[in-house]
Amino acid sequence: MENSEKTKTMVREKYAEIALQSAGENAVSCCGVNSCNTLDYSIFSEDYTNLTGYLEAADLKLGCGIPVEHAQISKGDTVVDLGSGAGNDAFVARALVGELGEVIGIDMTPAMIDKAKALAEQLKMDNVRFRLGDIEAIPLNANVANVVVSNCVLNLVPDKQKAFSEVFRILKPGGHFCISDVVLKGELPEEIREAAEMYAGCVSGALQKKEYMGIIHDLDFQSVSIKAEKEIQIPDEVLLKYLDANQLAAYRKSGAGIFSITVFAEKAKSCCAPGAGCC
C-alpha cells in the first residue's frame, strides 16, 4: 500500500508539472518537462487535429492512441473519461454526445482538473464536468456510463485489476469501454522498470500484453477486441540514462518491445459482479 501511494504521488507531481505548461512548450522542449535528458511524453501521442470538438489548448500530447475514434459514442450518451487531463478526449466526446449527452472527466491531479474546468467554462459547456478522483475508486455511482474512455492512463495505476473492476462497475449493462494504453511484449531491463520517470512516462508501469488482456477477460467483459496497435520506440539517448551501451544493445536485440493498443470491450446487458460467472 505504501509503495502504491508513493507511485501515485510521483505520477501526480509529474503530471502537475506538465499541466502548468502548454502543449507547444511540451513539444518544443522535446522532453515534456525539465531538460532534454528526460522522457518526451509526446512520442506516444496521436494527431487529434482533424476530429470534431478538438481543442488545441486541451491537447497536451499525453495520449498513446485515439480511443474516442473507436468508442462508438452516440448522441445522448453519458461518457466517462478516466485520467482526463486537460480534457482532450472529453471535449471530442462532447461533440459526439451532443447537447443531450454528458461527459464526465476523472483525474487525480488537481492542476489538470483546474485546467480542464477553466476550458469548459470558457466554452460555456455545461454538459462537460471534471471531477478529482482515483481510478481505483472512481467517485461515481454504479451503472452510470454508456461509454468509458481512457488514454494512456491505466498503465499508471498500481492496481490495474481494481481499475478495470471500477470500469465494469460504472458501466451500464450493455455499455462498453474503449481504452488506449501501453503494454509490453517481452521483458524490459530491470533498470527501466524501476525508473520512476519512465513510470510517469507510461513505460515501466505497463503490463505484458497477455496479462493486460487477461485482466479484461477475467472480469467478464464481452466482445473484447484490439482496434489499433503500434510499436513505440524510446530514443537511445533516453534509454542510456538507465542502461549502459552493452545493456542497450542487448535490449535492442532481445525482441522486447513497447506497444500502444486500443482495446474495446462490452459489459453484458444483464450482468452481476465481475468474476461471479453469471454474465
Predicted confidence (pLDDT) per residue in 112-136, tens digit: 999 999 999 999 999 999 999 999 9
147-167 per-position pLDDT tens digit: 999 998 998 888 999 999 999
First and final CA of the chain: distance in angstroms? 31
Whether the predicted model's global pTM rises above the 0.85 cut: no
Least confident of 82-86, 221-225, 272-276: 272-276
Could you tell me the pLDDT band of residue 107, with boundaries at 50, 70 and 90? very high
Is the pLDDT confidence value at 26 over 70? no
- Highest mean pLDDT: which of 123-127, 200-204, 274-278? 123-127
Q: Please check whether residue 227 is in contact with residue 263, taking contact to mean a CB–CB distance below 8 angstroms.
A: yes
Could you tell me the pLDDT band of residue 242, with boundaries at 50, 70 and 90? confident
Kindly state the average pLDDT of the residues 91-119.
96
Q: Among all chains, which residue has been given the C-alpha cell 530491470?
A: 190
Nearby residues of 114 by Cβ (< 8 Å), 6 or more positions away? 19
H or E element: which one contains 28? helix 23-28
Q: Please check whether residue 207 is in contact with residue 155, taking contact to mean a CB–CB distance below 8 angstroms.
A: yes
Q: Please check whether residue 239 is in contact with residue 248, taking contact to mean a CB–CB distance below 8 angstroms.
A: yes
Q: Please check whether residue 104 is in contact with residue 129, taking contact to mean a CB–CB distance below 8 angstroms.
A: yes
Is the pLDDT confidence value at 196 over 80? no
| 26 residue type, one letter | N
Nearby residues of 20 by Cβ (< 8 Å), 6 or more positions away? 111
Average pLDDT, the chain: 84
- Highest mean pLDDT: which of 28-32, 204-208, 222-226? 222-226
Rounded Cα–Cα distance for residues 264 and 188 (Å): 26
